[in-house]
């Protein structure tokens, strides 16, 4: 609450008079309750401090003198000479000063209730003693409300943004080339790690919900936007994990079984064609190694409950039942 100089001085004088009337002034700085004049120093923040008569107030503080009611004493001259003794305050004077102090407190309380110093209306800014921006609360042209925190160089490095669709928290390096965003809204719910200039599209890590499908995932991207690794939910609602090469081609994939695929691990070559498959077979594990599109090695469990290894390509031509031509396979003993 801003006060005029005269109102501030009046409040100081009344409070000082009240202290003098109650005899508290004599408890500090060697003064006695019988001193007719009391000296105080007023700091720039309005705090009143008693001081010994005849002394000089510290630099930056204002010297104020209080005189008891019904006293014959006069204020000391400019050379801070000691005041002359005089009469003390009467009971009626003391009661009047106490009543005046209570009235002052009531007026101050009414002012606080009306103005409400605990509430500040946006937009507003907070600056340090040097006038540098520290904190800012405002609203942009689109109606989004935001809070910005600035470092000592005047660069915004953290913030909160609130829109009709949700909220966003972010922190940014002072070089403004790396940032982390956490939020929930209409198009994204999760965490992003970005590189490059703002709105450059260089999203390097995204952990969150894919709004189009409602599924969740963790994706690691190259600076060109190509996904190089990921883990999350597949279309059937199961898990999924994969890695890609620098060109963005998927090189390894691990998925659970479904009506279309078998639970297993799939490895692709540089051309994208499969080179190895390790999956759940009809009777146990099943391994296939490829050369191009041709299966060259196959290992698994046969119908009779024994292990079989076949090497191609001759072993996969028509021949001795499941096992192929002699010399192109290894078969374990049946139980």
User: Which token pair is 67?
Assistant: 């005189």
Higher pLDDT, 204 or 50: 204
Q: How far is CA 74 from CA 81, 214, 261, in A?
A: 11, 85, 104
pLDDT by residue (tens digit) across 24-33? 434 444 445 4
How many angstroms separate the CA atoms of 197 and 159, rounded? 16
Is the pLDDT confidence value at 119 over 60? yes
pLDDT by residue (tens digit) across 213-236? 888 999 999 888 888 999 998 877
pLDDT by residue (tens digit) across 61-96? 888 777 655 544 444 444 444 444 444 556 776 777
User: Pairing mode, if any, of strands 124-127 and 48-51?
Assistant: unpaired
pLDDT by residue (tens digit) across 166-188? 999 999 999 989 999 999 988 88
Residue 161, pLDDT score: 95
Q: Report helix, strand or coil for 311.
A: strand
Specify burial of residue 153 (Cβ count, 10 A radius: 0-12, 13-18, 19+). Answer: exposed
Q: If you search the block for the tokens 């705090």, which residue do you land on?
A: 47
pTM: 0.55
């Amino acid at each position: 609450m801003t006060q005029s100089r005269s109102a501030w001085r009046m409040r100081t004088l009344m409070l000082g008079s009240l202290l003098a009337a109650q005899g508290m002034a004599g408890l500090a700085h060697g003064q006695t309750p019988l001193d007719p004049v009391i000296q105080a120093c007023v700091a720039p923040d309005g705090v009143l401090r008693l001081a010994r008569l005849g002394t000089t107030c510290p630099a930056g503080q204002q010297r104020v003198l209080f005189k008891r009611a019904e006293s014959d004493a006069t204020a000391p001259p400019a050379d801070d000479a000691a005041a002359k003794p005089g009469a003390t305050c009467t009971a009626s004077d003391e009661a009047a000063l106490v009543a005046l102090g209570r009235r002052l407190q009531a007026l101050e309380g009414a002012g606080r209730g009306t103005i409400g110093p605990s509430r500040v209306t946006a937009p507003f800014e907070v600056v340090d003693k040097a006038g540098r921006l520290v904190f800012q609360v405002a609203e942009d042209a689109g109606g989004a409300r935001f809070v910005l925190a600035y470092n000592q160089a005047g660069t915004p490095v953290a913030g909160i943004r609130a829109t009709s669709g949700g909220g966003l928290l972010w922190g940014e390096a002072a070089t403004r080339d790396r940032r982390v965003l956490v939020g929930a809204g209409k198009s994204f719910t999760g965490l992003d790690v970005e590189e490059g200039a703002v709105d450059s599209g260089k999203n390097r890590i995204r952990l969150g919900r894919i709004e189009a499908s409602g599924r969740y995932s963790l994706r690691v991207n190259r600076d060109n936007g190509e996904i190089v690794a990921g883990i999350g939910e597949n279309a059937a609602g199961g898990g999924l994990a994969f890695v890609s090469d620098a060109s963005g081609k998927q090189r390894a994939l691990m998925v659970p079984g479904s009506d279309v695929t078998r639970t297993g691990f799939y490895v692709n070559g540089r051309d994208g064609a499969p080179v190895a498959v390790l999956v759940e077979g009809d009777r146990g594990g099943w391994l296939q190694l490829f050369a191009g599109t041709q299966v060259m090695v196959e290992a698994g469990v046969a119908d009779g409950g024994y292990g079989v290894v076949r090497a191609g390509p001759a072993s996969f031509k028509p021949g001795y039942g499941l096992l192929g031509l002699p010399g192109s396979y290894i078969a374990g003993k049946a139980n």
